[in-house]
A and B are shown apart, each in its own frame.
Chain A
């Protein structure tokens, strides 16, 4: 391989470090008007009256939209849609959009909009809210009985607060109409999703909606759903017949796109004295809204990880008067892992078995749920390499047994796993006679490096250097691709790029057989490089690609290709795995916790670009530090209102919070998942970290913290 597997700097790097990369709100549009969202101050009830008269008098105000004069959505689903009726279903719900000539004018006038409400009693506490059953997987064996009969049992409850994605770029859209054709710049993880949503909402043809999103300033799941602002923005633009720009404020983001649900999990484990798991009952409740069910099955996490014959995962949703939650990096898995990987650690102390050893004892060689083999699983190698690098064998098993001066030292471990998924994806490659290629697919690059990795794959199999490849994404004019989420982008779009390039080679090969004496050579034995198609076995068989095209009066070859997950995948379970080793230092007098070292050993198939892969790993670790120690959206239940809605009150890790981070890639040669052996990693790298940190905190302090985040007050 010339490029694949080797480190490559981002192809969009220069654009990003020079400020040239344009994010949704940054496109220059003539005569754009600015919309500012007004939000409800109650959590439940209805708008009795809304007075916009004072606001309308202000300089620069063009129009104010409320439920009384707004565009109504043509197509209805459960998702929240702004300004449709007088009902209030969460605190912070948009109740008006003030559109003015400038941002300052719109913001000022927005403060003058006055609403009167008919309040109803609200319920925002997950613990008290009514529940409905959700899917939770089949019962394996007879967990209740096995638990009763187990020699050793533990039972514990774990709580995860609401957390918010907080990408650095606030959500924004600029919309404009030309007749019944809508163009919109949007922050999106999937332009085709936004296109479908807007077409249905306005009752117009899909092809009449153009969505452009070339750069996304982080999203982490917050832009998987279309959210309410693109429709709101487009509706305003249609009414005033001008382009309109709406930008969430940081505060509006907390109620504008969903969040990681509040989750309560009870884990009961039964084991034999030698550490063999006998039964796991992992119950979970996650909050959702009153109007839409969101489920992420956090308790599904351990089912494929541990060889445990009896397993049950009941799951319920609690209907709260809050906005609907959504997927947030490693949805379900990281929450489930916090519970299971903490509980396994608790069991290890109970059994007096090393926590890593306990995981090895219960290692699943095949998928315990289905009995299918894993297409690849190098988790054992991750355990070995990660432990060796970390120096795990030097760990003293007793809590509070390791010190560094005044600091208590704790070492913890946890395992992460995430499905290695692939979805159908299309791509178009145009190889030109001059040796350059245009590549396009309507995927996104929210930060993992999709621009770069698809460029590398195309370059690799077209046999041209990456700077000759121009890859476009984030535009609905491009071939279909799934949303960027679930860590399946490279497996999906990368497989398409690979397939398209091979088809181009096949076309050229057919010309070569016909016109240039390639008879007797098989296409598999040929390669494209440096402008030539040649046989790898027979030096005499070589022809310039430009000549092949010229002979056929072509200036370019266009290949539209759709890759599909192979049928063979159905015979296997495909997962990505990782082992995490964490060192924390705790100042018991002050309650300060520092994560001083994280070693992450990861088995995610073939690494395409170690440089950007390492960055994703690092990002996952930083997210894990945030989730374990800092992040929490607090709700004042008296008002049903999210309170920590800014970056001073909602803490995320800063530079000083992050110390040594090292990643080891344990490569797997997995030909079953897809031809290039790609698994995803963006979620996996986060999954085990919060539990590993909590386990390290226990090892350091002897305090088992089962409610995140592990803040100073819980240590003192």
Chain B
């Protein structure tokens, strides 16, 4: 465990963040599969896409501002200074007092992994982890974050080494378009510590117990993840992805082939390919 998060450990984590990382269950089969997957990820996934995106972005980088471009004078009337930690790095920002944490991440810091889905706290796409708890960054003013520690989706993986929840989302196809995914994953990561702390949900059957380390049923996970909307409808796979990391037990697939001559096993993974 410790080794997997070596680089994360090197950066400064809050106590809550550290606790969160330490309580990840051992991964068993998932860990094996993850190593296999990550080899490929380095070769294709992240690498290829990062290159494509940089090339596409370059179209704009080459652009030079013409002399007659229009700029407006900006009065500093609304400026506030905020010091906070983002993904372990100290930031000193001067920004518009109206700027939400989400807009600061996306528009000021180029951390566009946190998504704007509704800007009203209704969809969960903007979920980030502030001092160990999940927070809707669209309903949080940056100025409220003075001295706080913010973890975004960009801060969960360690280079090519994914966080177990990230790896499990890939394995269980817990997303399609990918837009709600960073919020889902940040929510899921924080959910783990809520379970660890024994926090109750609407569907908890016994709220009088102070038991820590509660085992979450699928219904509990569904309830606790219902603040994160997914329009592609990946919910059952999201539950499986989280349950596998939470319980350490491999979750079964729910699709089948019906073709007499074809054995289901043949449709499973061959070595060296594809699945996590």
Contact = CB atoms under 8 A, between A and B. Distances in A.
Decide if A and B are genuine partners: yes
Contact of B178 (A215, A617, A665): A215
B5 to A, nearest CB: 15
Contacts of B53: 20, 22, 27, 214
Contacts of A621: 233
B115 A665 contact: no
Contacts of A220: 231
Interface residues of A, number: 113
A560 to B, nearest CB: 20
Nearest to A22: B53
A645 B46 CA distance: 36
Contacts of A178: 63
B120 A168 contact: no
A181 to B, nearest CB: 10
Contacts of B255: 610-611, 613-614, 617, 662-665
Contact of A169 (B162, B177, B257): B177
B112 A26 contact: yes
A662 B254 contact: yes
B229 A612 contact: no
Given A216-B177, A241-B69, A242-B69, A168 B229 contact: yes
Contacts of A216: 177
A388 to B, nearest CB: 10
A168 B56 contact: no
B173 A168 contact: no
A60 B177 CA distance: 35
Contact of A447 (B59, B123, B176): B176
A385 interface: yes
Interface string A626-669: 00000000000000000000111000111111101111111100
A100 B44 CA distance: 39
A61 B72 contact: yes
A13 interface: yes
Given A9-B37, A654-B229, A655-B238, A614 B60 contact: no
Contact of A618 (B37, B222, B223, B236): B236
A13 B45 contact: yes
A662 B237 CA distance: 11
B243 interface: no
Given A62-B72, A610-B267, A11 B229 contact: no
A193 interface: no
Contact of A101 (B61, B74, B153, B185): B74
A201 interface: no
B70 interface: yes
Contacts of A664: 255-258
B107 interface: yes
B179 A167 contact: yes
Nearest to A107: B98
B259 A667 contact: yes
A467 B40 contact: yes
B89 interface: no
B75 A6 contact: no
B219 to A, nearest CB: 8
Contacts of B50: 15, 20
Given A614-B255, A620-B233, A667-B257, A6 B178 contact: no
Contacts of A103: 103, 107
Residues of B in contact with A, size category: 35 or more
Interface stretch (B13-21, B23-31, B164-172, B206-214): B164-172
Interface in B231-252: 231-239
Contact of A472 (B52, B225, B256): B52
A369 to B, nearest CB: 29
B122 A667 contact: no
B275 to A, nearest CB: 5
B258 A21 contact: no
Residue with the greatest number of chain A CB neighbours at <10 A, chosen from B63, B156, B166, B275: B63
B176 A615 contact: yes
Interface string A460-497: 00000111001010010000000000000000000000
Interface in A166-214: 166-170, 174, 176, 178, 183, 185, 210, 212, 214
A169 B117 contact: yes
A379 interface: no
Interface stretch (A28-36, A131-139, A401-409, A414-422): A28-36
A2 B229 contact: no
B44 A28 contact: no
Residue with the greatest number of chain B CB neighbours at <10 A, chosen from A62, A218, A446, A666: A218
A385 B258 contact: yes
B60 A30 contact: yes
B86 interface: no
A62 B69 CA distance: 10
A59 interface: yes
A599 to B, nearest CB: 10
A9 B276 contact: yes
A16 B170 CA distance: 9
B157 A466 contact: no
B15 to A, nearest CB: 25
Interface in A653-690: 653-658, 660-667
A229 interface: no
A607 B53 CA distance: 30
A467 B44 contact: yes
Given A27-B56, A241-B70, A19 B175 contact: no
A620 B236 CA distance: 13
B32 interface: no
Contacts of A61: 72
B235 A17 contact: no
Nearest to B154: A19
Contacts of B259: 666-667
Contact of B231 (A210, A652, A662): A652
Contacts of A28: 57, 60, 110
Contacts of A249: 119
B170 A615 contact: no
B181 to A, nearest CB: 5
Contact of A60 (B60, B72, B103, B258): B72
A218 B275 contact: no
A59 B257 contact: no
B188 to A, nearest CB: 11
Nearest to B73: A59
A467 B175 contact: no
Interface string B252-271: 01111111001000011110
A73 interface: no
B173 A654 contact: no
Interface string B37-53: 10011011110111011
B81 interface: no
Given A100-B72, A218-B232, A241-B66, A108 B118 contact: no
Nearest to A611: B173
Nearest to B53: A22
Given A9-B275, A30-B63, A448-B176, A646 B120 contact: yes
Interface in B184-209: 185
Nearest to B43: A467
Residue with the greatest number of chain B CB neighbours at <10 A, chosen from A29, A168, A475, A656: A168
B4 to A, nearest CB: 15
Leading 4 A-B pairs by shortest Cβ distance: A19-B113, A622-B233, A217-B179, A16-B178
22 contacts: A6-B267, A7-B274, A10-B170, A12-B45, A14-B170, A17-B182, A18-B156, A20-B154, A28-B57, A60-B74, A174-B60, A176-B60, A447-B177, A466-B273, A467-B40, A467-B44, A472-B52, A647-B229, A661-B236, A664-B258, A665-B257, A666-B259
Given A17-B175, A29-B60, A667-B257, 9 more contacts: A7-B253, A59-B78, A60-B75, A218-B177, A243-B63, A614-B254, A655-B225, A656-B223, A664-B258
Interface of A: 2-3, 5-23, 25-31, 59-63, 100-105, 108, 165-170, 174, 176, 178, 183, 185, 210, 212, 214-220, 240-243, 247, 249-250, 381, 385, 446-449, 465-467, 470, 472, 475, 601, 607, 610-623, 646-648, 652-658, 660-667
